[in-house]
Amino acid sequence: MHAYDVKLAERANAGNPIRVAVIGAGQMGTEIVTQIGEMQGMRVHVVVDLTEEKAKSGYAHAKHPVPVAICHSVKESEDAIRSGNAVATTDYRVATRNRYVDAIVDATGSTAMGAVISMDAFHYKKHVVMMNVECDVTIGPILRRFAEDAGVVYSLAAGDEPAAIIELYRFATALGFEVVAAGKGKNNPLNIHATPDTEREKAAQRDMNPAMLCEFVDGTKTAVEMAAVSNATGLVCDVRGMHAAHAKVDQLKHVFIPKEDGGILNRKGVVDFAIGVHPGVFLVVTTDNQRIRDGLVQRDMGEGPYYTLYRPYHLCSIEVPLTIAQCVLYGESTGHPKGKLTSECITVAKRDLKAGETLDGIGGFCYRGSIEQYEVAKRERLLPLGLAKGCTLKADVPCDTPITYDMIESIPEGMHVTLRTMQDMHLD
């Protein structure tokens, strides 16, 4: 474990805090700003959102508030920061091009915006902490390549379930255990046909955007998160969509194991999720060394040969500052995709769709996300989830059918589409 507390205290004492910009002042972005306000050795200089009021509200819960200046240019923002102000803006470039920013947090949730933000940040030598996992599972490998070429770090965010799982994975593989399964608990009821309308009342009770809640309930977020884990580790989905088995924590090592040993898996080395484990993340591991097995019995891990490693919490945005520190202080990521995709997040019709319809967004009425092995998705020309928004269908698509490239007109242009094309051509 890195000595974050010591290093951050040193930065604070030297008057040289890590300087942060947060793009997206929703629930997650605001919590990041607020949490950094509790810390020493780190400071948020810029918050970006679609309106000036929303951006300014990102600072509303800071323990030690500073004056917030509304700025419309990089120069104006740098002048404001030198004068002791924090900056609120609607222009992402005020963050990515600011000399007083070391690291950018992308909390937008938009694949298209994530691509633009990241590329500009890399050009101006800023680390990127990617809370926008939808973007990562679409173009993460090529973003990582551009980051490395620029000499900065591209990283998933601590506290998000993918990073929490990767933490366990690194622990287990460093010790020489074989990883049988890596997974998370499903935090919300699973209804693959959920829409913003079905979730509107619950969203209001939780002060959430209905589309955001819908993305969780319809299984899209779980597919996205486990695809990110797959792409970072090389673990694969055992079946399309994963098994989604019902299990409690004490049952995980009996369920997420090979069929020949009484479980549900066709192979070892998979990603999956459990309904009934809340809210943690887990690994099922094994070892064939009898001495190690004997030692695990003595540590109350059970008789084996399968063992559960369980982290009973993930604190989402509250942990993100640790990734910022890891990038700036140590030049390391909390987790990042390998050189190419292992899994694809695919697009599946949520209802009967008609030719001529334009697909809405993630968490909407038209489609949900699922997970498939990348090579299978490539062979079957399955449409990546992160490219689906704004596509117009040229064929009817029955409910629960994966949407393919052949079913759509051309994909609307954007930086994310360009990067995906480059990724498919050069990193495949």
Instruction: Identify the structural domains of the chain with CATH numbers, from first to last.
Output: 4-157+318-330 (3.40.50.720), 161-313 (no CATH), 343-426 (3.90.1210.10)
3-state helix/strand/coil string of 379-427: HCCECEHHHCCCCEECCCECCCCECEHHHECCCCCCHHHHHHHHHHHHC
The tokens of 336 are what?
């990042």
Confidence of residue 427 (pLDDT cuts 50, 70, 90): confident
DSSP state of 126: -
- Answer yes or no: is pLDDT of 206 > 90: no
Confidence of residue 360 (pLDDT cuts 50, 70, 90): very high
Confidence of residue 36 (pLDDT cuts 50, 70, 90): very high
Q: What is the predicted pLDDT for the residue at 1?
A: 62
Confidence of residue 208 (pLDDT cuts 50, 70, 90): confident
Q: pLDDT tens-digit profile of 56-80?
A: 999 999 988 899 999 999 999 999 9
Residue-averaged pLDDT of the chain:
96
Output the DSSP codes for 12-63.
HHTT--EEEEEE--SHHHHHHHHHHTTSSSEEEEEEE-SSHHHHHHTTTT-S
Question: 405 near 359, Cβ under 8 Å?
Answer: no
Confidence of residue 2 (pLDDT cuts 50, 70, 90): confident
Q: pLDDT tens-digit profile of 245-281?
A: 999 999 999 999 999 999 999 999 999 999 999 889 9
Average of pLDDT values for 185-193? 88
Max Cα-Cα span within the chain: 67
